[in-house]
Chain A
Amino acid sequence: MTETMAFVVDMLVHATPLLITGLAVAIAFRAGVWNIGADGQFIAGATAAAWVGVSAPPEIGWLALIIALIAGVLAGAIWAALAAWLRSRFGVLEVISTIMLNFVATYGASFLVRGPLQEPTHVYPQTAGIVDGAHMPILVAGTRLHWGFVIALVLAVVAWWVMKYSATGFRVRASGVNPFAARSAGLIDVSRVTAVAFVVSGAIAGMAGAIEVSGVTFALYENISPGYGYTAIAVALLAGLNTLGVIGTGILFGALETAAGAMQRNIGIPSTTASVIEAIVILVVIAIAQLRANRVTGTA
């Protein structure tokens, strides 16, 4: 395998969790829900999938993978539902609650891999390896590229279609852009629509976690997410919250992180350079968007 090929594979493997959590964030933001908690939902999903993967009996085969993915989706959904419930019941801002729940998830997972779910030798802060049946099949033989990437692409296209063509997607968009008009002119139950979008967003982030465990790590580690859920915000914003665009920006950020690792290994440029570039990209995008907005209102 050529070096370029290896890089592309690495890039797509890195891009997969960013792409899926980016979708989760884009959907929530479209609905006007500021879900900053994709990271927590990702970890919840990863934890649930790892738990299924570790405890599934080997004889059920590939069913273990299906159950692990479903468990990940449910865990992510529940994690988001907590914040959605806090928002609708007590008016807690989701920006605050989701960030807090990120910490709960991070340290909760930390506790589990040092306690109840720790590998049998009780040496490393991680779970045992998941059963073979729970492994995500490999997409390109001889590489690490797994079917999770294809799932990500399919999800992006489906999300795009739903947003654009379905009645539900229209309700989500309308509620997100102008909840007052959605309610008054569209007679849309805005709080319900946004709560559902919030939970779906969490479910997708949870699936990202499950795919990461079944496709890449094969176990639950401490710090399984190096902040995917936060980078996801950049991925989603850079794509203009368009879920097809998220494919591009997800791969871009995957490439940046892969390249950062390679640069550090080969020529000693600190990998944090990639974070600097990411931040600059985001600032430029925000500046351009603002300039454009100013031009629109200036002529109005």
Chain B
Amino acid sequence: MSDVALELASITKRFGGLTALDGASLQARRGTVHALLGENGAGKTTLMRIAFGMLRPDSGSIIVDGRNRSFASPNDAISAGIGMVHQHFTLVPAMTVAENIALGGRGRFRPAQVRDAILALSERTGLAVDPSARIEDLPTGAQQRVEILKALSRDAKILILDEPTAVLTPTESRELLQRARELVRNGGTAILITHKLRDALEFADDITVLRRGSTVWTGGAAEATEEALVAAMLGGERVNAEMEPAGRTTTDRSTTVLSLENVCVRDVNGVERLRSVSLAVHAGEIVGIAGVEGNGQHELLRVLAGRMHISSGEVRIPTVVGFIPEDRHRDALIQDFSLRDNVALLGAGTRRGVVSWTAIASQTRELIRDYDVRASDELTSVRTLSGGNQQKLVVGREIEGSQTALVAENPSRGLDVQATAAVHARILAARDAGMAVVIYSSDLDEVLALAERIVAVHAGNVTEPPREYEAIGRAMLGLPVT
């Protein structure tokens, strides 16, 4: 099969006791876009890191253009013609586009030459960038284009894109995937790591589905159906792919729990992050925030949760607002503390005297039971818990700790299907119990699945578009909603 550009055959990789990949295989044909689908934790990124030389497989082979290869480092993979764009960009913010692309290259740095090369490449691929712009001044979409150009400038014939659309607006995503299709027309190969079925079905030629480290489905996108892929990804445990919109309760909007009036927030550099935002969230409703990274939703959520000072305006919120931050390792939990000590964080700022450890321990045991946290006991270190169980603990602590209001930011990030379902069920139950809930997710589907009202944030302004994909997408870009 000479048209196979990259073949990964029976790759196995273990990390300590955890088997991340268990005989996973993938064949990417030349001139195609190949989608690698799978739930979080299925092993997609691990497999691609092996293909890019970042990890060495315990067994299995990597075959590039029919030749068996063994990569000691990404440099070997690059010289074999493989490029990778990581989910978290690896650019130097203070340096220009040209400098970043030249970084890691060989020989002398000749700015004019690099600039010309970038412009030529940019023209050829349709990926527009300004070589003299500084990375930190560029929006996410442009940074991603720089990453792709960087890989292509190293003559990558096989380009691996790790969740490229996770950070983009729907419109930007479509454009990027369209570009990927054009790139492979001249014999290149693109491997698209994603968990979005629609992207795979629409833009890929072939699809490989991983589940628990094994290849469970592979074939042409033409023969695939959404149902077949979901079934492969989830394996028996059926979950609705098309989640029903959550406008199911008749909300009594008489009690306003969280309210902002003309709130402005400036960051340390004096940049306005929120511009005169007014918003009311009532008891028993879920308000979803939609917005592209960096448009002020980070600040909006923290103001609502009482975790950020405002520059002007008025904030009326309860004394204790539950907050589920997106980076739970950094902001919600102390990894080396026990479950009990993490529950003790609740109200730690105002606690006086002696900590009643016995009371907190029994409170923790209740959370473990009620929120189905899989832990041997309350004195176990949080570090030993899986991401899903850690998040269930956070969700439980924040809901029980407030009882009136909850702000959640990407609450299912990094969780598998079941843990996500459990977290969602808890959030819905909190709403039904009369809590005012605000949820933001970078996955619009998640927001739509939970929230009855959608608020879009763009450049620090909020608007309330109708609950329609198209309208929300336009509002997220600051365009008039027709």
Interchain CB contact under 8 A, A170 and B16:
no
Interchain CB contact under 8 A, A185 and B15:
no
| Whole-angstrom distance between the Cβ of B392 and the nearest chain A Cβ | 15
Q: How far is it, in angstroms, between the C-alpha of A187 and the C-alpha of B352 when the chains are bound?
A: 14
The answer to whether the Cβ of A181 comes within 8 Å of any Cβ in the partner chain is yes
* Number of interface residues, chain A, beta carbon within 8 A: 22
Of B91-99, B126-134, B323-331, the segment with at least 4 beta carbons within 8 Å of chain A is: B323-331
The answer to whether the Cβ of B333 comes within 8 Å of any Cβ in the partner chain is yes
B residues in contact with A170, CB < 8 Å? 341, 344, 348, 351, 355
| Whole-angstrom distance between the Cβ of B254 and the nearest chain A Cβ | 29
Q: How far is it, in angstroms, between the C-alpha of A277 and the C-alpha of B26 when the chains are bound?
A: 56
The answer to whether the Cβ of B309 comes within 8 Å of any Cβ in the partner chain is no
Q: How far is it, in angstroms, between the C-alpha of A189 and the C-alpha of B350 when the chains are bound?
A: 9
B residues in contact with A185, CB < 8 Å? 323, 325, 331-333, 342, 345-346, 394, 397
Neighbour of A171 across the interface among B15, B17, B348, CB < 8 A:
B348
Q: Name the interface size band of chain B.
A: 20 to 34
Majority DSSP secondary structure for residues of B touching A = loop
Q: How far is it, in angstroms, between the C-alpha of A180 and the C-alpha of B351 when the chains are bound?
A: 18
The answer to whether the Cβ of B336 comes within 8 Å of any Cβ in the partner chain is yes
Q: How far is it, in angstroms, between the C-alpha of A282 and the C-alpha of B74 when the chains are bound?
A: 37
The answer to whether the Cβ of B334 comes within 8 Å of any Cβ in the partner chain is yes
Interchain CB contact under 8 A, A189 and B354:
no
Neighbour of A166 across the interface among B18, B331, B353, B383, CB < 8 A:
B353
The answer to whether the Cβ of B109 comes within 8 Å of any Cβ in the partner chain is no
B residues in contact with A4, CB < 8 Å? none
* In the complex, chain A residues 177-204 whose Cβ is within 8 Å of any chain B Cβ: 177-178, 180-189
B residues in contact with A178, CB < 8 Å? 330, 333-335
A residues in contact with B107, CB < 8 Å? none
* In the complex, chain A residues 210-232 whose Cβ is within 8 Å of any chain B Cβ: none
Neighbour of B383 across the interface among A165, A183, A300, CB < 8 A:
A300
Majority DSSP secondary structure for residues of A touching B = helix
Interchain CB contact under 8 A, B349 and A188:
yes
Interchain CB contact under 8 A, A181 and B333:
yes
The answer to whether the Cβ of A260 comes within 8 Å of any Cβ in the partner chain is no
Residue of A nearest to B333 (CB): A181
Greatest chain A CB density within 10 A among B348, B351, B383 is at B348
Neighbour of A299 across the interface among B16, B333, B342, CB < 8 A:
B16
Query: Other CB < 8 Å A-B pairs besides A171-B348, A185-B325, A185-B345, 16 of them?
Result: A166-B355, A167-B352, A170-B341, A170-B344, A181-B330, A181-B333, A182-B345, A182-B348, A183-B307, A184-B331, A185-B342, A186-B347, A187-B306, A187-B350, A298-B16, A300-B383
**Which residues of B are interface residues toward A (Cβ below 8 A)?**
15-18, 306-307, 323, 325, 330-337, 341-342, 344-355, 357, 383, 394, 397
28 residue pairs A–B, Cβ–Cβ below 8 Å: A165-B354, A165-B355, A166-B353, A167-B353, A167-B355, A170-B341, A171-B348, A174-B334, A174-B345, A178-B330, A178-B334, A180-B330, A181-B330, A181-B331, A181-B332, A181-B333, A181-B334, A181-B345, A182-B334, A182-B348, A185-B325, A186-B346, A186-B347, A187-B347, A298-B15, A299-B17, A299-B18, A300-B383
